[in-house]
Amino acid sequence: MRPSDAYPDDSIHNMNMTPKPALLVIAASMLLVLNITDAAAQSWPARPIRMIAPISAGGGADVAARLLAKSMGETLKQQVIVENRPGGGSVLGTTTAAGATADGHTLLWISGAHAINAAFNRSLPYDSTKSFEPVGLFAKMPFVLIVHPGMNAKTVPELLALVRASPGKYNYASSGVGSASHLGIEMLKLGAKLDMVNISYKGAAPSLAGLIGGEVQMAMLGPLSVKPHIASGKVRALAVTTAKRSAAFPGLPALGENVPQYEMTSWYGMLAPRGTPPAVLAQLNAAMTTAQSDKAVIDSLGAEGAELPRTTPQEFRKYLEADIARYMALRQKLDIRLE
């Protein structure tokens, strides 16, 4: 039997040659969406941009957000306004951003706390990656391992020996359970086989005050808060927590020189609500890259030992996913759960 006998209308030959009405509708719809998206990107930004920062005003992360906002506003010819929305360990502000209109006029400023929440908080009202579109990684910087000047330890090896000799005797300050300052020292405990007790404070400033006052013997905090106290001798710095030494702290070793494979990095980045047009994300990323070359940004964050890596949105997505995976692996070793 010939094909034409089996299919009298010869559809077997025509099906790949003549577009079906449904296919024409789909193609037209896709073209319309692309045209609308392109038009929206061309008219963006149409009004001031809101950058939600799920943190309190005044800290290192807030300072970095405002530096970026100022530079991006100049590049985009539209004001970028930082809106502080602290609460719930950054969950409150992040939830607000996740539910915002995805038109590029609402952004989310994030830090390593975003990855920590993804790994340790099992009841988030958003998905830490799927609810957002990545814009870029803005800055990476070290934490600093500091001790009370009364401690009989001036180097990391001396500190490790002192703590190992008296398990459970020494306390360390953290900015709360699940904070980077907490998890950083828990990672140190695991890597160096130490037994220390966590004393939680409500933030970096109170934990630093506890260390200076002798309530605890050590802490791992950000450069901005500890630098003046290192200079005054109120605390003693032993190491930075990045993989390499930091130019901002000449003479300090990297903690990984004494604890193999140790690295704890503070970082800042930006997300947008899911569905934000790719063309808008590209413009945001370009404005961030311009900010990373801004002298005011370099001078301010350079004092904290910051690196300003240039990443595409796709590269930042991979970076965030890898950081979440790292904390999820840590969660398997620690009896910690955030609510």
Q: Which CATH number does the domain housing residue 178 bear?
A: 3.40.190.10
CATH of residue 108's domain is: 3.40.190.150
Is residue 13 in a domain? yes
Is the CB of residue 118 less than 8 Å from the CB of residue 330? no
Percent of the chain at pLDDT > 70 equals 87
Residue 45 preceded by cis peptide, ω within 30: yes
Full domain range(s) for residue 102: 44-140+267-331
Q: pLDDT at position 297, please?
A: 95
Single residue among 217, 234, 257 that ends a domain in this structure: 257
191, 232: one domain = yes
pLDDT digits (tens, 9 = 90+) for 91-103: 999 999 999 999 9
Decide if 120 is inside a domain: yes
Boundary-marking domain end, from 236, 257, 278: 257
Residue reference for tokens 């009298």: 8
Residue, of 335 and 177, whose pLDDT is higher: 177
pLDDT, tens digit, for every residue of 198-240?
999 988 889 999 999 999 999 999 888 898 999 999 999 999 9
Band (pLDDT 50/70/90 cuts) for residue 284 is very high
Distances in whole angstroms, Cα of residue 28 to Cα of each of 25, 38, 316: 5, 15, 33
338 lies in a domain? no
Query: 129 with 200, same domain?
Result: no
Same domain, 10 and 31: yes
- Domain contains 336: no
Q: Is residue 107 part of a domain?
A: yes
Token readout for 42 is 């061309």
| Domain-terminating residue out of 229, 257, 285 | 257
Q: What is the pLDDT of residue 176?
A: 86
206 and 154 inside one domain: yes
Question: Are 110 and 125 members of one domain?
Answer: yes
Instruction: Return the HEC string of the chain.
Output: CCHHHHCCCCHHHHCCCCCCHHHHHHHHHHHHHHHHHHHHHHHCCCCCEEEEECCCCCCHHHHHHHHHHHHHHHHHCCCEEEEECCCCCCHHHHHHHHCCCCCCCEEEEEEHHHHHHHHHECCCCCCCCCCEEEEEEEEEEECEEEECCCCCCCCHHHHHHHHHHCCCCCEEEECCCCCHHHHHHHHHHHHHCCCCEEEECCCHHHHHHHHHCCCCCEEEECHHHHHHHHHHCCCEEEEECCCCCCCCCCCCCEHHHCCCCCCCEEEEEEEEECCCCHHHHHHHHHHHHHHCCCHHHHHHHHCCCCECCCCCHHHHHHHHHHHHHHHHHHHCCCCCCEC
Considering the domain boundaries, does residue 337 fall inside one? Answer: no
Burial of 166 (0-12, 13-18, 19+ CB in 10 A): exposed
Q: How many domains does the chain have?
A: 3
- Domain assignment of residue 9, yes or no: yes
| 135 & 193 share domain | no
Do 160 and 252 share a structural domain?
yes
Six-digit token string for 82: 């930082």
- Cα separation values, 136 from 11, 96, 322, Å: 51, 20, 14
Instruction: Say yes or no: 205 and 165 in one domain.
Output: yes
Same domain, 177 and 239: yes
4-52 tens-digit pLDDT: 443 334 433 343 444 455 544 444 444 444 444 555 567 899 999 999 9
185/163 Cα distance (integer angstroms): 13
Residues 127 and 272 in one domain: yes
Residues 38 and 48 in one domain: no
pLDDT digits (tens, 9 = 90+) for 137-195: 999 999 999 999 999 999 999 999 999 999 999 999 998 888 999 999 999 999 999 99
- The mean per-residue pLDDT over the stretch 85-90 comes to 89
Identify residue 154 by its one-letter amino acid code: K
Q: Are residues 71 and 85 in the same domain?
A: yes
Confidence bin at 247 (pLDDT 50/70/90): confident
Per-residue confidence band for 56, with pLDDT thresholds at 50, 70 and 90: confident
In a domain, 199, yes or no: yes
pLDDT at residue 4, rounded to an integer: 41
User: Helices 112-120 and 313-331: crossing angle, nearest 10°?
Assistant: 50
- The fraction of the chain above a pLDDT of 90, given in percent, is 71
Provide CB contacts within 8 A for 162, sequence distance 6+: 151, 152, 153, 170
